[in-house]
Structure 1
Amino acid sequence: MDYFNYSRRQANEVYVGATPMGGANPIRIQSMTNTVTMDTEACIEQAKRIIDAGGEYVRLTTQGVREAENLKYINVGLRSQGYDTPLVADVHFNPNVADVAALYAEKVRINPGNYVDAARTFKKLEYTDEEYAQEIQKIRNRFVPFLNICKENHTAIRIGVNHGSLSDRIMSRYGDTPAGMVESCMEFLRICVEEDFTNVVISIKASNTVIMVKTVRLLAEQMEKEGMNFPLHLGVTEAGDGEDGRIKSALGIGALLADGLGDTIRVSLSEAPEAEIPVARKLVDYIVSRENHPYIPGAEAPGFDYVNPVRRTTKAVGNIGGEHVPVVISARLDGNMAVSEQFKPDYIYCGQQLPETRPSGVGYIVDANVWKGEEGVYPAFNYQQLIGLHHCEASMKFLFVPYMGLTEEAMACLRLHPEVVIVAQSNHPNRLGEFRGIVHQLMTYGLENPVVFFQLYQEEELENLQIKSAADMGALIFDGFCDGILLYNHGGKISDVKVDETAFGILQAGRVRTSKTEYISCPGCGRTLYNLESTIARIKAATSHLKGLKIGIMGCIVNGPGEMADADYGYVGAGRGKISLYKKKECIEKNIPEEQAVEKLIELIKANGDYCE
């Protein structure tokens, strides 16, 4: 992989009905129905809406043999209406269901965490090496007959690992770790290779974007070591709805797409399935538009570990860098100083004019030629003003610099001035590559000045700004480079407050700064037995002011307790109209009637002292 220049990873071509993926095919987009799979007409109509929106694969939950057999009628119904989009069966817990589904769907997803291994109970198990090998043989004995059915019927498979459903066996040996997730997948892939079955796609997902990105990077590295080139399906599970779901998905998926990883994606939103497709389309189009961009002559710094990155070492300048959380700088070049109390920026860059009235609790930055040493106001230099920077005695200075402006003279200046915060700029089609180039050059020269990334856009729609800015910041956050973000939307109709809110949302989605309640909510499927969207709205209305709290809202138990394991509280579907409530991984109360469950959740939060009015 070229760390600074965009190109797609070369994957095997996999045949999924009439829509192959991998190889030279475009990055495919998909979604999943949330209708009951036994309701043939409802599934057909929802599948049509997904396809009409641009979906290239449609997945359906397949809980049992009856649902698997009903895929035949859904498939026939769609084909009779002129739709040839492949259907994907989503199977958990029962390998017999996968065998049947392979007869009627173009692709079958199985979950290594519950295909043969028992559903996890978070119990620590002890295995000798011999006993562990016997467990792998059990998988092989059950998995190979399924592969033979798929061979006979030209059915593709997806080996879909979820962070929330790792087996007790894997967690006992590897822990709840990226390495365990990768090994859970590789156990099945090695059998596929031994059986010469190559019609395989892989996914490794998590609701935690840090884990998701690290694990996919590790998986790609491990596959390369073992001579495998299977296509990758990317997604952030339980991303949520609204702007949170869009930002979190764009951050995680975008970070991997930007490095050429990914052959199909699903943006999982707690909304109507067809609403996922335009978001996914915008994300893919934005990333692939940088193909064949001008070459970036970057050089990787010694000691940098792409698969296991740590936060870059910097010397704090004020509250920027060091051990401080990344800051948000807002550009207000028109003099508008309106800010939100919840999402108040740390600094405001005012350019040539320092307003007379300024919100309190905010630092201000002005261009060096108009700076007069006012209290709480700091000068900004461009890379052509290094002489002026040398003579300025401000305790904190900002240097706006592009990659090609980081000359030997600039590096020498930075070595003498650790009080300088670098504001990295780029107009390159692949701004990520240039930003990485700046940070790696600083690391190579042993410079520890903090770096803030100046992300400039001209968007009319807030969703477009959210998707693009999150996609551009993702890899920089996961690489450990982000000491701050300056997000500026030039000339658009999006309010400055909304731009600031997007910047804070990006940092929270990257798990580097918390500014609001976090919701880990699934998109729903045919297993969900309550109204997910209205429930999320009710829970948000009652808890959105609880800054820093994590609440999981899950449709069923497939990923529920596991995926929300780092949530403070969980609301999980337990049956038709029944809810179970969790504190961390512990189930506190089972089978609560749905109409009482939200109030019971609030009572639980209050009982543990985590609620405030």
Structure 2
Amino acid sequence: MLDIQAFHLGAEPCQYHRRRSIVVQIGDTPLGEGYPIRVQSMATASTLDTEAAVAQAERIISAGAEYLRYTAQDKRVATNLGVIHQALRARGITTPLVADIHFNPTAADTALEYVEKVRINPGNYVDSKGCTEWNDEVYRTMHERVQERFGAFVLRAKELGRAIRIGVNHGSLSERMVMLYGDTPEGMVQSCLEYLDVCRAHDFHDIVISMKSSNTVVMTTAVRLLVERLHSLGYPAYPLHLGVTEAGEGEDGRIKSSVGIGSLLADGIGDTIRVSLSEEPECEIPVARALVDYITKRETSPSPEGNLPSWEEYRALSQDARRQTTAVGAFVGGSNLPIVLHPSLGEEDLTAMEAQRPDAVLMPNGQLRAHNGTPIVGISTYTLSSEEITAEAIQHLLDHPQTLVLLESRGENPVADWRWGFTQLQRGGITNPVLLKRTYMERDLDLFRLYAAADCGSILLDGWGNGLCLEAPYLSVEDVIKTSFGILQATRLRMSKTEFISCPGCGRTLYNLQNTIAEIKSATAHLKGLKIGIMGCIVNGPGEMADADYGYVGAAPGKIDLYKGQECIKKGVPQAQAVEHLITLIKEHGDWREPGEEPPTS
């Protein structure tokens, strides 16, 4: 199993500064060291519809996008990128355009002539599918094909002064890479390195790299592993594009994106980001900008004082730390699921929340209460910050192993605060369950979600933290608790609702994505713990919904393919009946239950 903790960063765990990447010229908007973290989006208008594509570009760019991507399925579509490019330049818009290519290297060749950057997917650029016999000769032949075909593309990009994004997606690794390395972060890194080495062989370095997945654990692991591998190989620090694929929309999309992107930004990783929401693309920009601004202001915040840990020590301390804490009955710690605790202000909060969040724990007037209002006896809490961890505090916790530690961050860099506090507790031999505590003074619910998800997601993905204890005095208790559970779900630690893995849409989308998502949610949102993929076209599914239990994929205009896991069960279902057929499919496999009906216990 891959050691997801092993990676190298320039900054130490309790500090913040950006990774020093090389500069890549993309039109008139350079990327990398010395330049701000760029935000971008992808058009959903058809690339063949010049008028619609240009109008949408103006909206997205007006919202603040610094790069704009269009899909280019074939040579005809790629050629029209030149028309769009020319129309935008005639309007005085110089924002660099990016072509998004899958399966069709000829489309990539064509697009390269017209736009500043082309994204290719190593998983489907030239690799053939359906090989029945894998041997060294097949591997060698396919590798040589990559060198020859992609090499010619690189030489032309070098001649034209274009940039290339090597965009690896977990859900669309080539069969060859899966056979060699498995469907793993290691497979993603190896897929990238094969194409990167072709670029380096031709002394071409205007390269941006992305490692994406709809699973935040896989995505962050792959990016960190790539950073380490580039460092160990002595390669330049190429700029990194960050994103969580198929993050969804609304609250869930924002929380999931913030967990994945924010946790990497917090460690100084990332030069450009795209928040992929199943909404109008211009809605992505303010979310991305808010996330970047929140993290990068830590550049001027002071680091904690003391004998701060190195990455090596911190990773050793956090290895499986969550499960190694002392279990407090079947409540928290050890193998228990992480909990959500809210230090509510009075009995009225408890009453209001009982029916709505039966899996939350409230603490009215300092007394822990179960979901039914029954006091939880024999368990106390101890709140302290990293600056308050003294020898006396350590001894108190050693003497009271059933005490829950509420590790509070009060500074500008919660990730650094929590890591320093955790390090001191671990050095002192403390095994008490630790909950992350912080008070957010934001009045804007969306900003609270972004900030809390980025902060807490970083720590939970590190491998420790037995729950969350968040407060936001200007927001409702329900919203704070709902956000907390959303963060736990986005980090794959506790499933408390249905998870919808939905693509953001693009020019390939074959149906009204937002209306369809709303329809499917209305029918299935009560299926706690189930993961449902909603993909606009076959390019983004089934691969990009690899984690989904069921999938709804656009197959052709008016036709939907339905999946159970990675297997297509029903093909070409009329869209008007597709949701009904999806429900039938869920029922046939025993995963349906009526609203209000609890899932079976294992």
Q: TM-score, normalised by structure 1?
A: 0.91
- Answer yes or no: is the 8 Å Cα contact 1:60–1:90 preserved in 2: yes
- Answer yes or no: is the 8 Å Cα contact 1:124–1:168 preserved in 2: no
Residue 57 (structure 2) aligned to one of 37, 40, 47? 47
Pairing of 1:489-508 with structure 2 (within 5 A): 489-490=472-473, 492=474, 494-508=475-489
- Answer yes or no: is the 8 Å Cα contact 1:520–1:564 preserved in 2: yes
Residue 233 (structure 1) aligned to one of 238, 241, 244? 241
d(CA) in 1 for partners of 2:188, 2:404: 38
- The CA deviation at 1:300 is 4.2
Residue 550 (structure 1) aligned to one of 520, 531, 539? 531
Match of 1:281 in 2: 289
- The CA deviation at 1:308 is 10
Amino acid at match of 1:133: R
Deviations 1:65-123 (A, max 9, x none): 0111101110011111111100000001011111111110110000000011125x6x7
Residue 35 of structure 2 is aligned to residue 25 of structure 1: yes
d(CA) in 2 for partners of 1:474, 1:153: 41
Match of 2:360 in 1: 346
- The CA deviation at 1:345 is 5.1
| Structure 2 residue ranges without an equivalent (≥5) | 1-9, 595-602
Residue 385 of structure 2 is aligned to residue 402 of structure 1: yes
Match of 1:530 in 2: 511
**Partner SS for 1:138:** helix
- The CA deviation at 1:413 is 2.2
Deviations 1:409-459 (A, max 9, x none): 212222222112110011111111110111122223332111000121011
Amino acid at match of 1:227: G
- The CA deviation at 1:292 is 2.1
Farther off after superposition, 441-450 or 400-409: 441-450
Pairing of 1:66-465 with structure 2 (within 5 A): 66-119=76-129, 126-128=134-136, 131-228=138-235, 229-296=237-304, 297=306, 298-300=308-310, 305=315, 309-312=319-322, 313-318=324-329, 319-337=331-349, 338-339=352-353, 341-344=355-358, 346-351=360-365, 360-362=371-373, 375-376=375-376, 395-465=378-448
d(CA) in 1 for partners of 2:200, 2:380: 57
- The CA deviation at 1:341 is 3.0
Q: TM-score, normalised by structure 2?
A: 0.93
- The CA deviation at 1:334 is 5.0
- Answer yes or no: is the 8 Å Cα contact 2:318–2:463 preserved in 1: no
Residue 492 of structure 2 is aligned to residue 478 of structure 1: no
d(CA) in 2 for partners of 1:441, 1:94: 53
d(CA) in 1 for partners of 2:430, 2:392: 13
Residue 583 of structure 2 is aligned to residue 602 of structure 1: yes
- Answer yes or no: is the 8 Å Cα contact 2:42–2:506 preserved in 1: yes
d(CA) in 2 for partners of 1:450, 1:330: 16
Amino acid at match of 2:223: V
**Partner SS for 2:113:** helix
CA 1:359–1:427 in structure 2 vs 1: closer, same or farther (change >3 Å)?
closer
- Answer yes or no: is the 8 Å Cα contact 2:503–2:540 preserved in 1: no
Amino acid at match of 1:97: A
- The CA deviation at 1:309 is 4.8
- The CA deviation at 1:362 is 4.8
- The CA deviation at 1:193 is 1.5
Amino acid at match of 1:603: T
- Answer yes or no: is the 8 Å Cα contact 2:361–2:370 preserved in 1: no
Match of 1:372 in 2: none
CA 1:594–1:182 in structure 2 vs 1: closer, same or farther (change >3 Å)?
same
- The CA deviation at 1:349 is 2.4
Farther off after superposition, 214-223 or 311-320: 311-320
d(CA) in 2 for partners of 1:612, 1:399: 40
CA 1:306–1:134 in structure 2 vs 1: closer, same or farther (change >3 Å)?
farther
- Answer yes or no: is the 8 Å Cα contact 2:317–2:426 preserved in 1: no
CA 1:303–1:430 in structure 2 vs 1: closer, same or farther (change >3 Å)?
closer
**Partner SS for 2:99:** strand
- Answer yes or no: is the 8 Å Cα contact 2:276–2:503 preserved in 1: yes
| Structure 1 residue ranges without an equivalent (≥5) | 364-374, 378-394
d(CA) in 2 for partners of 1:179, 1:434: 31
CA RMSD, aligned part only? 1.9
Amino acid at match of 1:255: S
- The CA deviation at 1:138 is 1.4
Residue 576 (structure 1) aligned to one of 529, 551, 557? 557
d(CA) in 2 for partners of 1:30, 1:322: 41
CA 1:472–1:306 in structure 2 vs 1: closer, same or farther (change >3 Å)?
farther
d(CA) in 2 for partners of 1:210, 1:45: 37
d(CA) in 2 for partners of 1:600, 1:62: 31
- Percentage identity across paired residues of the two chains: 51
Q: How many residues align?
A: 577
CA 1:438–1:124 in structure 2 vs 1: closer, same or farther (change >3 Å)?
farther
Amino acid at match of 1:126: W
- The CA deviation at 1:336 is 3.4
- The CA deviation at 1:133 is 3.4
d(CA) in 1 for partners of 2:182, 2:428: 37
- The CA deviation at 1:474 is 1.1
- Answer yes or no: is the 8 Å Cα contact 1:344–1:500 preserved in 2: no
Deviations 1:117-148 (A, max 9, x none): 125x6x786332x5433322210101111011
- The CA deviation at 1:342 is 4.6
Amino acid at match of 1:167: S
Deviations 1:484-543 (A, max 9, x none): 1011002x1x21111111111110011000110000000011111111110000000000
- The CA deviation at 1:346 is 3.3
**Partner SS for 2:501:** strand
Match of 1:388 in 2: none
- The CA deviation at 1:343 is 2.6
Match of 1:382 in 2: none
Amino acid at match of 2:39: I
**Structure 1 outlier segments of 4+, above 6 Å:** none
Farther off after superposition, 130-139 or 312-321: 130-139
CA 1:430–1:104 in structure 2 vs 1: closer, same or farther (change >3 Å)?
same
